[in-house]
A and B are shown apart, each in its own frame.
Chain A
Amino acid sequence: MADKDIRIERRDTPAETSLTLGEELTVHQVTRVRARFASLAADGPLVVDLGALRRLDTAGAWALSELRRRIEAAGGSVRLENAAPDVEMLLDAVAAATPQPEPKPAAPRGLAVRLETIGRAVTRGALFGVGLTGYLGLFLVRLGQVLRHPGRFRLTALVAHCEDVGFRAVPIVAVMAFLIGVVLAFQGAAQLRQFGAEVFVVDLIAISILRELGILLTAIIVAGRTASSFTAAIGSMKMREEIDAMRTLGLDPAAVLFVPRILALILMLPILGLIANLAGLFGGALMSWIELGISPSMFRTRLIEGTDVSHVFVGLVKAPVFAVIIGVVGCHAGMRVQSNAESLGRMTSSAVVTAIFAVILADALFSVFFAEVGL
C-alpha cells in the first residue's frame, strides 16, 4: 500500500511547525503515521490541525497522545486545532487511559540461574514420582475399602469401562499382534535359512511373542488408547468443577473414578495380552507356512515340544502390573489438569508418554528379575 491514504502536510514557519492531518487516522494508518511523527523534532511549538479529520479511532488517538507526550516531555508544546467535539472526547479518554508500562525486572543470568533451573527440574521430576506413587497408594486403599464393603462398589461402571478399554481394543490389538508375528517369521526365515535351521523360526516366534512382544506391544497400544482417554475424561471433569461437586456431595473421586477404571484395566489387559499372543502365533504360523513351508501341524508340534509353558506365564504375569501403571498414570495426569483447555491437551499427551515410558521401564526390570530368578 502506498501512502496515498495518509496525508500529512507540514509547514514550517519561524515561530512554529504546523501539521495538517488527512481524513483518516485509524489502526490501518497508524504504523506509518507514527513513523512520520517520530521524525518530528521535539523542540519548538507544534500545531496539529485536525480540521480535515473525518475518522479517528483509538489507535490514531493513541498516536496523537503519544506525540504530545513525547514533545511535551522534551520541553516543546503541542496545540490541537479544529478538533470536532467527538474527536476531542476520544483524545481525552485515550490520554487518560494510556497505561504506564512498568519496567520488568531484568532477568538474572549466570551459573546460579542455570543451576537453579536444573534443580527445579529435578525437584519437579521427583515430586511427580512421589505424586504417582501417592496415587498408587490411594488406589490401593480405595480398592481395599471396596473389598471390605463390596456393596458400595459400582459394578455398572466397571462393566462399562471393561467394554471400553477391553472389548473395543480387541481389533486393533489382534491386528497389531498378527502383523508382528508375520514380521518375525519373515525376518527370522531370512536369517535362519542361511544356517539351514528354518524350523527354529517356530521357537523364535513363540518365545519372543509369548515372553515379550505380545504383552509389551499390547500394553503400549493400551497406554496410547486408554491412558489418554482416562486423562481427558477426568481432566475435563476437573475443568468443569465436577470433581469438586463430587467431593461436596460426599463422593470420593478416587473411589468413583479411579477404582472402576484401573480395575477394568487390570481385568482386561491380561485378556488382551492373551488375544495378542494367539494372533501373533497365528500370523507367525501363516507366514512360516507360506515362506518356509512349515505346515501348521508341524508348527504346532514344534511349538508344544520346543516352547515351555513358563514363557506364557512370564509374559502374562506382567500384564496386571502394566495395567496398574497405565491406569494410575492416566488418572494422575487427569487430576493435574488445570482450568484451561491447553493444560488438558498437555496432560493428555504427557500421560501417554509417561505411561509408555513407565511400561517399558517396568518391562526391563521384569527381564532383569526373571533372568536372576532363572525363569
Chain B
Amino acid sequence: MSRPDAPEAVIRVRGLRTQFGDHVVHEGLDLDVRRGEVLGIVGGSGTGKSVLLRSIVGLQRPAAGSIEVFGVDVLSGDAAARARLDERWGVLFQDGALFSSLTVRENVEVPLRAVEGLAPEIRRQLADLKIALVGLPYTAGDKYPSELSGGMRKRAGLARALALDPDIVFLDEPTAGLDPIGAADFDQLILKLRQALGLTVFLVTHDLDTLHAICDRIAVLAERKVLVTGGLRDMLAVDHPWVQDYFHGPRARAAFEAPGADAATEKG
C-alpha cells in the first residue's frame, strides 16, 4: 500500500532484442514503468506490443537484453523468484483466457488456491468479492465463461488477474471488441481499481479513447524500439510519420476533442 513519492521504476527493460527466425521484432528496446502509473503501449500492427507484454511476464524468451521487475531479473530462470513474481502481477489476456471448464468463481479461486492456510470458505467469499469489485453481478460467479458476453468475460478475467492483489496488472487490449459504452465503463473500472488497490497498469491498446481517459504516460513502439514516451500532449509534438498519423488522425481528433472525454479524465 505504501507508495513513495519519487516515481520508482517497477519494470525496467534494457536492450531487449526479440526475434522469430530472421524477423526481428525488437532491437535495443528500453522501457521503464513507474510505480502507480497507467502506462499505455501503442504501435502499429506487428510492432510487437503483445510480444513485449509476453516477454515481461516471461512467456516469451528474448534473444538478448534484460528485464527486471521489482529489481528481480525475470530471465534468470530462478523458479522461486519467478513464483514470487507471479504473485505480484496479474495478466488479463485478450479474450479473458478463462478456464472454460470452471465457473467464473472457480476461475477466480485458482490463484487463491496457491495461498497456504486459506480456508476454502474464505477463498470462496474473496472470489465473490473480486467478482463484485470488477462490477459483475453476484450470479455471474456460478456461470461458465461460455455463458458470458465478451465484456463480462473480460471483467471476469480481470477479477482472476486481481485475485492475489497484484502490484502490477498487464492488460492486453482490454477494450478491444467492446461496444463504446462497455469500453468506457471498463476504462472507468480500471481507474477505480487503480486508485483503490494502488495498481500499476501496463496497458496494450489501440483505443484512443482509453489512452485519453486513463493513461498517465504513453509509450510508442515503432522501428523495433520504444520511439518515445510521455504524456498525450508530448505525443502531439512528436515529429515521426506514424506518431503524427496516429495522434493527428480523424479518429484521434474526435477522441480528444469530445467534451465527454475530458470530463471522464477529470472524474478519474
| Chain B binder among A96-104, A179-187, A204-212 | A96-104
- Asked if B76 is at the interface (CB within 8 A of a chain A CB), the reply is no
Q: A99 contacts B144, CB within 8 Å?
A: no
Could you tell me the distance between the alpha carbons of A82 and B165 in the complex, rounded to whole angstroms? Answer: 23
Which B residues touch A86, using CB under 8 A? 1-3, 198
Which chain A residue lies CB-closest to B100? A340
Could you tell me the distance between the alpha carbons of A129 and B165 in the complex, rounded to whole angstroms? Answer: 50
Which A residues touch B101, using CB under 8 A? 340-342
Q: A100 contacts B129, CB within 8 Å?
A: no
Instruction: Please pick, from A54, A98, A100, A340, the residue contacting B146 in the complex, using a CB distance under 8 A.
Output: A340
Q: A62 contacts B126, CB within 8 Å?
A: yes
Could you tell me the distance between the alpha carbons of A58 and B198 in the complex, rounded to whole angstroms? Answer: 11
Q: A27 contacts B165, CB within 8 Å?
A: yes
Contact with B along A217-234 (1 / 0, CB 8 A): 000000000000000000
| Chain A binder among B62-70, B132-140, B224-232, B247-255 | B132-140
Whole-angstrom distance from the CB of A4 to the nearest CB of chain B?
Answer: 13
Which chain A residue lies CB-closest to B145? A340
Q: B196 contacts A93, CB within 8 Å?
A: yes
- Asked if B24 is at the interface (CB within 8 A of a chain A CB), the reply is no
| Chain B binder among A28-36, A157-165, A287-295, A358-366 | A28-36
Whole-angstrom distance from the CB of B133 to the nearest CB of chain A?
Answer: 5
Q: B197 contacts A90, CB within 8 Å?
A: yes
Interface of B is mostly: helix
Q: A31 contacts B119, CB within 8 Å?
A: yes
- Asked if B131 is at the interface (CB within 8 A of a chain A CB), the reply is yes
Instruction: Please pick, from A31, A55, A93, the residue contacting B122 in the complex, using a CB distance under 8 A.
Output: A31
- Asked if A94 is at the interface (CB within 8 A of a chain B CB), the reply is yes
Could you tell me the distance between the alpha carbons of A56 and B162 in the complex, rounded to whole angstroms? Answer: 14
Which A residues touch B130, using CB under 8 A? 58
Could you tell me the distance between the alpha carbons of A100 and B138 in the complex, rounded to whole angstroms? Answer: 8
- Asked if B241 is at the interface (CB within 8 A of a chain A CB), the reply is no
Which A residues touch B115, using CB under 8 A? 27-28
- Asked if B118 is at the interface (CB within 8 A of a chain A CB), the reply is yes
Which A residues touch B122, using CB under 8 A? 30-31, 34, 59
Which chain A residue lies CB-closest to B134? A97
- Asked if A307 is at the interface (CB within 8 A of a chain B CB), the reply is no
Which A residues touch B2, using CB under 8 A? 54-55, 86
Whole-angstrom distance from the CB of B142 to the nearest CB of chain A?
Answer: 9
- Asked if A130 is at the interface (CB within 8 A of a chain B CB), the reply is no
Q: A98 contacts B129, CB within 8 Å?
A: yes
Q: Provide 27 A-B residue pairs closer than 8 Å at the C-beta atoms, listed in order of the A residue.
A: A27-B118, A28-B116, A34-B119, A55-B1, A57-B165, A57-B197, A58-B162, A58-B165, A58-B197, A59-B126, A86-B1, A87-B1, A90-B1, A93-B197, A97-B129, A97-B132, A97-B133, A98-B129, A98-B132, A99-B129, A100-B138, A101-B138, A339-B100, A339-B146, A340-B144, A340-B145, A342-B100
